[in-house]
Amino acid sequence: MRRKLVSANWKMNGSRAANAAWLAEFDGRDLACDVVVCAPYVYLPQVIEGLRGGETGAQNLSAEAPGAFTGEIAGEMLLDLGCRWAIVGHSERRAFYGESNDVIAAKAARAIGLGLRPIVCVGETLAEREAGRTQAVIDAQLDAVLARCTPTQLLAGAVAYEPVWAIGTGKTASPAQVQEVHAAIRARLARVNGAAAAQLRLLYGGSVKPANAFELFTQPDVDGGLIGGASLQARDFRAICETACEAAR
Ligand code: PGA
């Protein structure tokens, strides 16, 4: 049985005051699921210090080792702070910052090599889905990662399926659509290593809310979620975490 994992992705949101209020409200210590909060780099120390019942993640990391890369953040620095996780290849990184499948794979490999747990994101755009290319796009994204990391190594983290058309749009993929893609992702990984594929946690992300989380999290291949907008309210994020626990029962 895979333990559910719910991760907040605050994206480029927050302030010291807003984060303090969030951290004062959220308490995950009694939750029977794993909780991660991925905050902007500059707020990581605040979250690491104040988060009760969860681990802290970054939203990105450099593919490079420390050195002459102005403005970048190395995985070593994240670990040095006590940050345990990092989102890798979020669609906003792919779309707005030109991160290729190969760069993302390099970041995932670098994170794993350092002992930082990657949440590797994959997903298709609306145009790709409408052109019937969903699986081909996701396969290419996964294959790039599998060229550098084994499924066993990926077990340290998770893979998140985030259809681009469902992120921040209020349009959630239907539970059946999500299950279909998750099953295909697991099958792809199983071609390399069946045992690891069976254990790897696959998260869904894209307009998850307290109201729709249960039907998503009860799909057989959905092991939790990556939560953007709804994670900005501690109460909503907590409700989604509780739903993940309930879905596991
Ligand atoms: P959303 O974002 O929940 O606001 O759709 C999810 C994500 O991008 O991780």
Q: What are phi and psi of 35, to 5 degrees?
A: -125, 135
Torsion of CA 232, 229, 119, 52, to 10 degrees: 20
**Among candidate residues 98, 104, 48, 108, the one with its CA nearest the CA of residue 78:** 48
pLDDT score recorded for residue 1 = 80
Q: Is the CB of 160 under 6 A from ligand 1?
A: no
Measured distance CA(59)–CA(160) in Å, rounded: 13
Q: Classify 163 as helix, strand or coil.
A: coil
Q: How far is the CA of 135 from the centre of ligand 1 (A)?
A: 20
For range 125-145, the mean pLDDT: 97
Mutation pick for ligand 1 pocket among 7, 11, 88, 119 (CB with most ligand atoms within 8 Å): 11
> Where is 161: in which H helix or E strand?
strand 158-161
pLDDT score recorded for residue 193 = 98
What band does 125 get if pLDDT is binned at 50, 70 and 90? very high
Measured distance CA(165)–CA(46) in Å, rounded: 32
CA 20 to chain centre: 23
First to last CA, the chain: 11
Residue 206 predicted with pLDDT over 90 = yes
Tokens of 72: 């970048």
Of 45-54, 79-88, 96-105, 169-178, least confident by mean pLDDT is 169-178
Average pLDDT taken over every residue of the chain: 97
pLDDT score recorded for residue 171 = 84
Q: Classify 115 as helix, strand or coil.
A: coil
Residue 172 predicted with pLDDT over 90 = no
Q: Is the CB of 123 under 6 A from ligand 1?
A: no
**Among candidate residues 210, 242, 217, the one with its CA nearest the CA of residue 30:** 242
Tokens of 90: 């979020």
Residue 184 predicted with pLDDT over 90 = yes
Percent of the chain's residues with pLDDT above 70 = 100
